[in-house]
């Protein structure tokens, strides 16, 4: 290797050193600590005992009967896993269904008004997440706005129990994460040349064909980014399920917090945390693989 090549490599290494150090300290090192904790023994009053054990990982999917010592499936944990994944998938789908038309509408407005519309989308981010969640709570409680309207119109005889249900959690998550779907789709659609769509209309292409064959393939990177930005945080959501679920409709984030806080089983909480990371990594890997297969087929 020549001296010039060596200098280039050394320069690049030095330039990357700060980012590498930050990544190591902020991400890899804490994750490594959590992995280590997952293989230790829980302390009597929280914390860990530095004795190797796989009990934390076993209890992620299995539990031992305290009377017969028989091992069976941890149905509560598995149910929470299923609720978290299913609600995250539905949240992602609903935010896409609602967010795509919003992004399309904003992208087709005159340039002088686009910033105003984007400001309206961004305003919820100016308010604390907990406050926004409590606002949704006021809508769905028995004496809330929705039930008051339904009772006033005579559509129901008594208030509907909407709060502390999966429905309330789902609506809250869609409301919270909707801007994360709109922003990347709008960013991709803003660069789209709508004269291409007009040309397709001039060639008598139906609206459905223009959408699926012209617009969607071009704005696909924005849709992919939106799906990732919504699915990943919704899978580990904590505040929204805790407030709107009332401690009854738990998700993975709530279960992990419970293990570190109330139950004081740190190894199990660490194992659940790593499981959540693995689930997210698998979802991203499958999505990247499917995207590459689509690109190769083209």
Q: Which domains does the chain have, with CATH numbers?
A: 47-297 (1.10.3720.10)
The predicted structure's pLDDT at residue 294? 47
- Give the tens place of pLDDT for each residue, 103-162: 999 988 888 888 899 888 888 888 888 888 888 888 888 888 888 998 888 888 888 888
pLDDT digits (tens, 9 = 90+) for 245-265: 887 788 998 999 999 988 889
Report the pLDDT averaged over residues 157-173: 90
CB atoms within 10 A of CB 71: 11
Q: Are 92 and 230 in contact (CB under 8 A)?
A: yes
Contacts 24+ apart (CB under 8 A), 273-278: 273/34, 273/38, 274/31, 274/34, 274/35, 274/38, 275/60, 276/235, 276/236, 276/252, 277/31
Tell me how far the alpha carbon of residue 152 is from its chain's centroid: 36
**177 membership: H or E segment, kind and range:** helix 166-190
Task: Report the alpha-carbon distance of residue 128 to residue 241 in Å, rounded.
Answer: 16
Containing 271, the helix (H) or strand (E) segment is: helix 266-297
Q: How confident is the model at residue 20 (pLDDT cuts 50, 70, 90)?
A: confident
- Cβ burial, residue 270 (10 Å; 0-12/13-18/19+): buried
**Cβ-count burial of 92 within 10 angstroms (0-12 exposed, 13-18 middle, 19+ buried)?**
buried
**Beta bridge mates, 133:** none
Query: What is the pTM assigned to this prediction?
Result: 0.84
Give the separation between CA 232 and CA 178, rounded to whole angstroms: 13
Q: Give the pairing of strands 71-73 and 48-49.
A: unpaired
User: What percent of the chain lies above the pLDDT cut of 90?
Assistant: 25
pLDDT, tens digit, for every residue of 48-94?
Answer: 889 999 888 988 888 876 666 677 788 888 899 999 999 999 999 99
Compute the distance between CA of residue 245 and CA of residue 268 in angstroms, rounded to an integer.
23
Q: Give CA separation, 282 vs 54, 143, 275, 277, 287, in Å.
A: 22, 42, 10, 9, 8
Indicate whether 277 pLDDT > 60: yes
């Amino acid at each position: 290797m020549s001296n010039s090549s060596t200098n280039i490599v050394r320069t690049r290494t030095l330039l990357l050193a700060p980012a590498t150090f930050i990544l190591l300290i902020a991400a890899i090192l804490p994750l490594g600590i959590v992995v280590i904790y997952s293989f230790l023994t829980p302390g009597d009053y929280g914390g860990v005992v530095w004795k190797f054990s796989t009990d934390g990982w076993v209890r992620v999917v299995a539990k031992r009967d305290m009377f017969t010592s028989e091992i069976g499936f941890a149905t509560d944990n598995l149910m929470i896993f299923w609720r978290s994944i299913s609600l995250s998938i539905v949240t992602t789908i609903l935010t896409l269904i609602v967010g795509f038309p919003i992004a399309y509408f904003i992208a087709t407005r005159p340039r002088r008004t686009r910033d105003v519309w984007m400001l309206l989308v961004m305003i919820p981010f100016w308010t604390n997440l907990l406050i926004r969640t409590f606002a949704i709570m006021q809508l769905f409680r028995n004496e809330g706005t929705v039930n008051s309207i339904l009772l006033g119109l005579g559509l129901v005889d008594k208030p509907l129990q909407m709060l502390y249900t999966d429905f309330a959690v789902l609506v809250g998550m869609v409301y919270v994460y909707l801007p994360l779907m709109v922003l990347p789709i709008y960013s991709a659609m803003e660069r789209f040349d709508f004269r291409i769509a007009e040309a397709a209309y001039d060639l008598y292409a139906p609206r459905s064909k223009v959408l699926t064959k012209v617009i969607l393939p071009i704005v696909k990177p924005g849709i992919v980014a939106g799906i990732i930005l919504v699915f990943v945080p919704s899978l580990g959501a904590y505040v929204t399920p805790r407030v709107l679920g009332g401690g009854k409709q738990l998700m993975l984030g709530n279960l992990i917090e419970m293990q570190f806080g109330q139950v004081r089983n740190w190894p199990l909480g660490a194992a659940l945390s790593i499981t959540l990371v693995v689930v997210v990594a698998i979802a991203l890997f499958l999505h990247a693989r499917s995207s590459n297969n689509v690109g190769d087929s083209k």
